[in-house]
Amino acid sequence: MNRSILLIGLLIAQRAFAQSDTTLAPMDADTTRASLLADSVQNLNPRTPVITITSDDLDSELGSQDVSGILQSSRDIFTSTAGFNFGSARFRIRGYDSENTLVTINGVLVNDLETGWASWSTWGGLNDVTRYTQVRTGIGATRYNFGSIGGSSDINIRPGALRKGLKVSYASANRAYNNRLMVSGSTGLLQNGWSFSFSGSRRWAEEGYVPGTSFNAYAYYMAAEHKIDKRHTVSFAGFGAPLVRGRQGVAIQEAYDLAGTNYYNPNWGYQDGVKRNARMNFDHKPLMMVSHIFTPTDSINWTTSLVYTFGRDGATGLNWFDAKDPRPDYYRYLPSYNADENPALAAEQSTAWRLDPNVQQINWDQLYFANGKNLYSVLNADGTGETITGNRSKYIVEEQRADPSRVGLNSVYSRILKNDQHLTVGGSFNHQRTHYFKTIDDLLGGDFWVDIDQFADRDFNDTLISQNDLTRPNKVVREGDVFGWDYDIHTRLVNVFGQYEKKWTTLEVYAGLQLAQTSFWRVGNVQNGRFPDTSEGKGPTNDFFNVGVKAGAIYKLTGRHFIAANAAYLNRPPTSNNAFISARTRPNTIPGLQSENVMSTDIGYVVRYARLKARATLYYTKLANQVWSRYYYNDEALTIVNYSMSGVDQINKGVELGVEANLTSTWQMTAVYAGGDYRYASRPLATITRNNSAEVFASNRTVYWENYKVGGMPQTAASLGLRYNSPKYWFAGVNGNYFGNIYLDPNPDRRTVEAIGNYVSTDPQVTQLLDQEQLEDNFTVDAFAGKSWMIKRKYRIAANVSVSNILDNQDFKVGGFEQLRYDRTEVGKFPPKYSYLYGRNYFAMVTFSF
Amino acid sequence: MKSMNSLMNFRTLVYTLAVTAVLGACKKEYDAPPVRTIPQGQILTVAELRALFTGTPKHFGGDTSIYAVVTADEVNGNLYKNVYIQDHTGALIMRLLSSGGLYQGDSIRIYLPGTVLGSYAGMLQLDSVDVDNNVVKQSTLVHVEPQEVTMSQITPAMQGKLIRLNNVQFVEGDTGRTYANAITQATENRTLEDCNNGTVLVRNSGYSNFAGLPIPNGKGSFTAVVGQFNSDMQLFIRNINEVQLNGPRCGQNECLPIAELDEDFSLAQNNQNIMLECWINVFTEGTRLWKGIVAGSESFCEARPASFDVTTTSWFVSAPVQYSAGMQASFRSAIGNTWQHDGLSVWVSTDIDLVDGTGVANAPWVQLTEAALAGSGSPVGTWFPSGNIPLSNYLNDGDNFVIGFKYTGVPNTQATSYRIDDVLVQ
C-alpha cells in the first residue's frame, strides 16, 4: 500500500476520537411580535446545526475499549482537543461552518444538499458503528472525495470494517439525556464470506440538564456484507435514529435574572401539573445503502454505493391568532417594558414573573381554557359557502416539517501507479427533495383552526390575499391537517473529481480537481393568495457550474521534522436555503445570486519524536460572495420582512498549535492553542422585501460590515492537559481550558446609513447601534478517569467517567445573537439573547464486551 | 459449549434491550386539562350595570355576569382593544386588556369580577376585560338591528348603541377628503349632516381599513355605534359597507337619464372644483378633482396632478343619458401645458348609479377608443376635436349610460394638464 500520505495521517486523527452530534443552535429566534404568529416569524434557518464535536455522545468515547487505540501516535492532539475540550464552548476549527466539512458514509456524501450541513443526529446513538470514522481537518489528499476546506469525515459502516464481538454499555449522564443503553455486535468475516453487524441503543431523559427539556431517542443499525470472491464485495447497511426531544430556548438576560438561573427555558410550562415543552423535535430519517467494492488487483479499489434516505424532520411551536402572545418572555411581559412609564406595574410584573410558574413559563391550562370557549362561525368555510361553527382555537401547537428524501450514487476508483504514484477518480449523482409544510399538532382543546395568513390578513385586509390555499378559501383545519405552506425544494448535484499523488524521498505532493453542476428549484403544492400566479407549480431552475482545485506538498526536513503546505480554490453554489427570498410563498430568489468563491491555504511545521509531538499551522481562508438571508419582524416596516444580503465576504485566519509530551512513561502533558481572527471583509448589499407581497422596502442598502467579528464561537481557545496512564489499566486526567474573543454576530441592518441616519456622532444611539458586543473570556476545568478489567482473558469490563466544568462556572456565555428586530431610537428595547455553558456535568459509563 | 454460552448471552442481551426499548417507547400524550368553567352568579342587564356607576370607578369582585351581543368589533381596524356590546336594555363599550377574540354577532356572557366600570371623558365603559378569562361565548352570528334615529336623538343617553341615520351626508368640506390619514395613520374627525343643519362627528382611525378611501359625496343611510368624548358625540363606523351615501345630496334633484347632453361648462368658476348638477367629479387616487377654468369668454374644465400627490387619477362623469339608435358623442380636448404624457381617456358605462369614488373606480367602463384626443403634437391650449364617436358599438336601445373622462397624471414627470369642453351627445 502506498504510504505517500503518511504525513497527512499525522495531521489528522485516524480514528474519530470524538463523535459529533448536531446541536440545534437557536438562531435569531426573533419572535417578539404581538399577538400573531410564533414560529414563522423566525428567520429562515431556525435550526442551524452547528457541529460541535462535543456532544453528549462524544463523551462516551472516552474510556471505551478503544482508548488505547485512540491514543495511538497518529492522532493529532490539536484536532482531538478541539473536539473534546472545546466543543461545548462552540469552538469550531478555523471558524468554519458545518458546510465546509464534508461527511460521507461509505463514500457517499450525506451533507444536506440544501443547507450544506451534516446532521449528525441522523445517526446519533450509533457510536459503536460510527466510531470508524476518518476525520481529516483542513485541505488534504483524500481518496473518498474532493473534500472541502474544512476537511472531511468519512464514516465506514460496512460490517467488514467493524470489530468482531459483542458489546453492551450503559451510561448515566446529566446532560441532554440521563441514560443510555447500547448494544452492538459484529460477527467478523465468517467462513462463508459473510459478515453481519447490528447495533441498537436508547437514550432518554425525562428532563435533561435544562428545565423542561426531554429526550427520547432510539437508534438501530443492521448491516450485512458478503465477500463474494477476491475481487467482489457487496454490502448492505441500514440505520435510523428516531428522536423526540424537547428543546431549550434562549432568552434575554432580564429573563435569566428574574428566573434566577441562566438555564431558564421559556419553551415549557405546566399543563395539569406536568411539564410540557412547546418546542419538540421529531426526527427520524432512516438511511439505506448498498455498496459494491471491486478489487481486480491489489492496486485497484473501485467502490460504488447507492444510498436512499427519507423521513421526518419536524419541529413544533406555538402559533396563535387574534389573541395575546402566549410566550412568557414576550418583551411586553417583562418588567423592563414598563419600568419607566409605570414602575408600579413593573414591580408587580417582576414579582409575578419571579414567583408564579404560570407567568414565568407557558400557561398551558390558560391556553386550553381560552380555546375551549371561543365560539366562532367560519363563513364560506372551505369555499363551499357553508358556515362551520365551533370553538376556533386561538392557540395551537403546530409542527413545521422539512421532510427530506434523497437518492445518491457515488463511485470512486482508486489506483496505485508505478513509481509511488496514486490516482483517484470519482463521480456522484445526488438528488434531494425536501417537502416543507405545516401540520396541526394539537388544537389545545379547540375544534379547528382557520388557514389564513395572519400577517397578510392584517396588512391587506383582503379576504383573498390572506388565504393560504386559494382552492379552499377559509380552509378549516384540524389535527394532522396540512396548512400554512406546502412546497418542495429540489436540489440536484452532479460532480466528478480526480486526484493525483506522487511521492519522492523527501517530498510528497498531490493535486486535485473537481467539476460540479448544481441545480435547485421550488415546486409549490398550493396556490396562495399573496402570489396567486407563481406560488403553485414548478418555479425556475437555478443552475450553477462550479470548479475546485487543490494542491499540497509535504517536505521532509528530516525523518522527524516536516513542513506541510496546502492550498485550495473552489467556487460553489449558494445553498438553496439561503437563495430564496421566501420559499414559503414564492419561487423568487434573492437579487445578486451567484456562486461563492472560497480560497484557503495553510502551512504547518510538524515535529515527531517518540516523547514529543508538535504541530504549528498558519491558515488563511477567504469566503467571498456569500449570500445571507433571514426573516423577522421589522419595526420600521411594521411587518414581517425578508432580509437578504449578497456579496458577504469573510476572512478566517489564525494559528493552530498542538504539543503532546510524554514526560514519563505514565505522565503525559498536552498543550493546545488556537488563535483565530474571523472577520467580515466586505460591505454587502441588502435587499429588504415584504414577506407578504412583492413590495421591496429597500434594495442595494449598503451594510457597513467590514471588520466586524464573526460571532457565535470563541476565536481564541487554549487547553493545558495532564494525564496519568497506569500500567494497571487505569487512567486519569485533567484539562484546563481557556476561551476568548467570543462575539455576538452583528445584526446587519444596525450597521447601515439608514439605521444611524439623523444622529450625530455624539448621540448615544450611534455607538449602541454600531458597537459589537464581546462576551467575557472564560475558563473551565474538565477531568476524566477510567479503568478496565479483563475476566478470564475473554470478557472485558471498562468503566469510565468524565466530569466537565468541574468549577461549575454557570456564567459562561457561549453564544447568543443580536435580535434582528431593533428599535433605532431605543436599542436596548430588544436586547441580545444568550445561551450559557452547562454547569458541572458528568458522563459515566460501564461497558461489557467479549 | 463456550460458543453456545456466548450465543445465549447474546440473545439474552438482545431480548433485554428490546423489552427495555418497548417499555420506554410509549409516546407521551398530553391530557387535556380538566375543564375550568366561569361561574355565572347574579345576572344583570346592561342597563342595570350602567346604573351601578355612581361617579367613581367600580371594581367588580363578587359573582356577577351580564349577557350581551357584540355589535362592533376590531376587525376593520377602526376600533382597537374596544368592542361595543348591547342587550335589549342598553349598550356599553368594553375596553379589552388585549386585542382580539371578540367578533360582531358574538352572543357573550361577561363575568364581571376583575373588570372596572368607569367613565372616560364622559363615556361609561367596562374596562380591564380579559377576553380569555371574563368572556364566555354563547353563540355566534347574532344579528342586532340598528336603532333608526335622527341627528337630534344622538345624545349621551345613546352611548354605546348601534344606530342608523337616514338621509344624511358628509359636509361639503369633507367630501373629496379621505376618511382618515392612511399614510400617517392619524385618526381624524369628519362631520356628518342631515338636510336640516344637524351635525354629528364621525371619528375614523388611521389604522382602519377604510382610512384611505375617499369620503362619499352623496346622501343616504349611515350605520355606526355611538361614542362620546367630553361634550362631543362621536360615531364610529363598524363596517364601511354600512355607509350607503350614494343618493343625491340635500337640495339636489334626482338625476333621471336625459335624452341628449349638451354641456359647454358655462357655469364653471375659475379654479374651483367643478360641480355640475348630475355630473360626478371624483378622484380615485391622489386628492385633486377636475377644476373649472374661465379664460375670457371661454369656460371649460381641466385636470392635472396635485403637486404633493404621487399619482392623481380623477374622473369627470357626465349626467346620465338614455341611448337611442344612431347616437353619437363628441367633445373637444386640449393640453394645458407642454406635452409630457397622454393623460386623458374617455369611457362609457351603463352603470349610472355612480356617486362616490368607490363606485366610479369599480364601474364597468369601456373605453371609447375612436375618440381623437389632444396629444404630443398638439400646440398648448389649442382645441382638438374628438370627431363624432358612434355609440352603437357600445350600447343598445334604451340603455342608460354615462360618459367618463378619466385623467391620470404624476407631478413633474407626467404632468400634462388636460382640458375638455363642449361635450355633446345626441
- Is the Cβ pair B10, A370 closer than 8 Å? no
- Is the Cβ pair B17, A181 closer than 8 Å? yes
Name every chain A residue with its beta carbon within 8 A of the beta carbon of B100: 35, 321-324, 394
Distance CA A295, CA A413 (A): 10
Burial class (CB in 10 A: 0-12, 13-18, 19+), B296: exposed
Name every chain B residue with its beta carbon within 8 A of the beta carbon of A850: 6, 9
> How close A741 comes to chain B (CA, Å)?
42
Distance CA B142, CA B134 (A): 20
Predicted local distance difference test score (pLDDT) of residue A235: 94
Which cell numbers hold the place of A343? 414602575
Predicted local distance difference test score (pLDDT) of residue B354: 64
**Over residues A618-644, mean pLDDT:** 88
Predicted local distance difference test score (pLDDT) of residue B215: 93
Which cell numbers hold the place of A496? 466528478
> How close B174 comes to chain A (CA, Å)?
25
- Is the Cβ pair B140, A389 closer than 8 Å? yes
Q: Which H, E and C letters describe B308-342, residue by residue?
A: CCCCEEEEEECCCEECCCCCEEEEEEEECCCCCCC
Gyration radius (Cα) of chain B, Å: 32
Identify the residue with better confidence: B39 or A296: A296
- Is the Cβ pair A461, B209 closer than 8 Å? yes
pLDDT of residue A805 exceeding 60, the answer is yes
Name every chain A residue with its beta carbon within 8 A of the beta carbon of B101: 322-323, 370, 374, 394
Nearest residue of chain B to residue A459 (CA atoms)? B209
In this prediction, residue A559 has a pLDDT band, given cuts at 50, 70 and 90, of: confident
Q: State what percent of residues in chain A have pLDDT above 70.
A: 91
**Over residues A280-304, mean pLDDT:** 95
- Is the Cβ pair A204, B24 closer than 8 Å? yes
Distance CA B320, CA B352 (A): 6
Predicted local distance difference test score (pLDDT) of residue A488: 97
- Is the Cβ pair A394, B31 closer than 8 Å? no
Name every chain A residue with its beta carbon within 8 A of the beta carbon of B135: 373
Predicted local distance difference test score (pLDDT) of residue A208: 93
The count of other CB atoms within 10 Å of the CB of residue B292 is 21
Does domain B261-425 correspond to CATH entry 2.60.120.200?
Answer: yes
The count of other CB atoms within 10 Å of the CB of residue B90 is 21
**Over residues A554-569, mean pLDDT:** 91
B221 bridge partner residues:
B244
CB-nearest to A183 from B14, B28, B100 is: B14
CATH classification code of B42-139: 2.40.50.140
Best residue in A373, A458, A638 for a mutation probing chain B (most B CBs within 10 Å): A373
Predicted local distance difference test score (pLDDT) of residue B252: 63
> How close B121 comes to chain A (CA, Å)?
22
> How close B285 comes to chain A (CA, Å)?
18
CA dist A93 → A617, A655, A813 (Å): 12, 11, 19
B83 bridge partner residues:
B94
Closest to B419 (Cα-Cα) out of B379, B388, B390, B391: B379
Distance CA A795, CA A588 (A): 62
Distance CA A265, CA A730 (A): 39
Name every chain B residue with its beta carbon within 8 A of the beta carbon of A216: 24, 28
Contact predicate A303/A293, CB 8 Å? yes
CB-nearest to A35 from B99, B105, B139 is: B99
Nearest residue of chain A to residue B6 (CA atoms)? A850
Q: Is A794 left (phi over 0), alpha (psi -120 to 50) or beta?
A: alpha
Which amino acid is residue B424, in one-letter code? L
Q: Supply the mean pLDDT for chain B.
A: 87
Contact predicate B356/B218, CB 8 Å? yes
Contact predicate B147/B154, CB 8 Å? no
Distance CA A409, CA A404 (A): 17
pLDDT of residue A69 exceeding 70, the answer is no
- Is the Cβ pair A324, B36 closer than 8 Å? no
In this prediction, residue A316 has a pLDDT band, given cuts at 50, 70 and 90, of: very high
Q: Please give the DSSP secondary-structure letter assigned to residue A286.
A: -
Is-same-fold flag (B147-247; B261-425)?
no
Predicted local distance difference test score (pLDDT) of residue A130: 84
Predicted local distance difference test score (pLDDT) of residue A640: 85
What is the four-CA torsion angle of A94, A97, A103, A109, rounded to 10 degrees? Answer: -130
- Is the Cβ pair A183, B76 closer than 8 Å? no
Name every chain B residue with its beta carbon within 8 A of the beta carbon of A274: 30
**Over residues B81-87, mean pLDDT:** 96
pLDDT of residue A533 exceeding 50, the answer is yes
Predicted local distance difference test score (pLDDT) of residue A43: 28
Closest to A450 (Cα-Cα) out of B103, B109, B24: B103
- Is the Cβ pair A442, B76 closer than 8 Å? no
Selected residues 204-263 of chain B with any CB under 8 Å from a CB in chain A: 209
CA dist B198 → A447, B165, B224 (Å): 49, 12, 17
Predicted local distance difference test score (pLDDT) of residue A388: 94
Q: Supply the mean pLDDT for chain A.
A: 87
Distance CA B338, CA B340 (A): 6
**CATH architecture for segment(s) B147-247:** Beta Barrel (2.40)
On the CB side of B278, CA atoms within 13 Å amount to: 16
Q: State what percent of residues in chain A have pLDDT above 90.
A: 68
| A421-466: pLDDT as tens digits | 999 999 999 999 999 999 999 999 999 999 998 877 777 767 788 8
3-state class percentages of chain A: helix first, strand second, coil last, to nearest 5: 15, 50, 35
In this prediction, residue B258 has a pLDDT band, given cuts at 50, 70 and 90, of: confident
CB-nearest to B137 from A183, A373, A444 is: A373
In this prediction, residue B5 has a pLDDT band, given cuts at 50, 70 and 90, of: low
CB-nearest to B36 from A168, A202, A369 is: A369
Lowest mean pLDDT among A19-23, A771-775, B257-261: A19-23
Q: Please give the DSSP secondary-structure letter assigned to residue A506.
A: S
Best residue in B4, B28, B99 for a mutation probing chain A (most A CBs within 10 Å): B28
- Is the Cβ pair B33, A183 closer than 8 Å? no
Selected residues 399-418 of chain B with any CB under 8 Å from a CB in chain A: none
Burial class (CB in 10 A: 0-12, 13-18, 19+), A229: exposed
> How close A374 comes to chain B (CA, Å)?
6
**Of how many residues is chain B composed?**
426
**Which residues does A88 contact at the CB level (< 8 Å), separation at least 6?**
A52, A54, A780, A804, A805, A814, A837, A838
Distance CA B15, CA A217 (A): 18
Can you give the residue ranges of every domain in chain B? 42-139, 147-247, 261-425
Q: State what percent of residues in chain B have pLDDT above 70.
A: 89
**Over residues A33-60, mean pLDDT:** 29
Name every chain B residue with its beta carbon within 8 A of the beta carbon of A444: 32
- Is the Cβ pair A377, B9 closer than 8 Å? no
Gyration radius (Cα) of chain A, Å: 27
Predicted local distance difference test score (pLDDT) of residue A79: 84
Nearest residue of chain B to residue A363 (CA atoms)? B33
Distance CA A513, CA B407 (A): 64
Distance CA A470, CA A452 (A): 10
On the CB side of B205, CA atoms within 13 Å amount to: 17
Distance CA B70, CA A249 (A): 39
**Over residues A265-287, mean pLDDT:** 95
Lowest mean pLDDT among A143-157, A532-546, A649-663, A694-708: A143-157
Predicted local distance difference test score (pLDDT) of residue A46: 29
Identify the residue with better confidence: A52 or A411: A411
3-state class percentages of chain B: helix first, strand second, coil last, to nearest 5: 10, 40, 50
pLDDT of residue A214 exceeding 60, the answer is yes
Predicted local distance difference test score (pLDDT) of residue A18: 32
Secondary structure E strands in B14-103: 42-44, 58-59, 64-72, 82-86, 91-96
pLDDT of residue B207 exceeding 80, the answer is yes
- Chain A positions contacting chain B at CB under 8 Å are 34-35, 166, 168, 181, 183, 185, 200, 202, 204, 214, 216, 218, 244, 271-272, 274, 276, 321-324, 364-366, 368-370, 372-377, 387, 389, 394, 442, 444-445, 461, 850
pLDDT of residue A839 exceeding 60, the answer is yes
Nearest residue of chain B to residue A168 (CA atoms)? B13
The count of other CB atoms within 10 Å of the CB of residue A274 is 12
Predicted local distance difference test score (pLDDT) of residue B287: 81
Asked if B20 is an interface residue toward chain A (Cβ–Cβ < 8 A), one would say: yes
Nearest residue of chain A to residue B136 (CA atoms)? A373
- Is the Cβ pair B106, A216 closer than 8 Å? no
Number of A–B residue contacts, CB under 8 Å: 96
Selected residues 30-49 of chain B with any CB under 8 Å from a CB in chain A: 30-36, 38
Which cell numbers hold the place of A348? 408587580
Contact predicate A105/A134, CB 8 Å? no
Best residue in B13, B16, B30 for a mutation probing chain A (most A CBs within 10 Å): B30
Identify the residue with better confidence: B216 or A13: B216
CB-nearest to A377 from B17, B141, B209 is: B141
Task: Give the range with max mean pLDDT: A157-161, A258-262, B25-29.
Answer: A258-262
Closest to B224 (Cα-Cα) out of B173, B172, B148: B148
Predicted local distance difference test score (pLDDT) of residue A542: 96
Best residue in A166, A322, A474 for a mutation probing chain B (most B CBs within 10 Å): A322
> How close A204 comes to chain B (CA, Å)?
9
**Which residues does B75 contact at the CB level (< 8 Å), separation at least 6?**
B103, B104
Nearest residue of chain A to residue B141 (CA atoms)? A377
- Is the Cβ pair B30, A445 closer than 8 Å? no
Classify A137 as helix, strand or coil.
Answer: strand
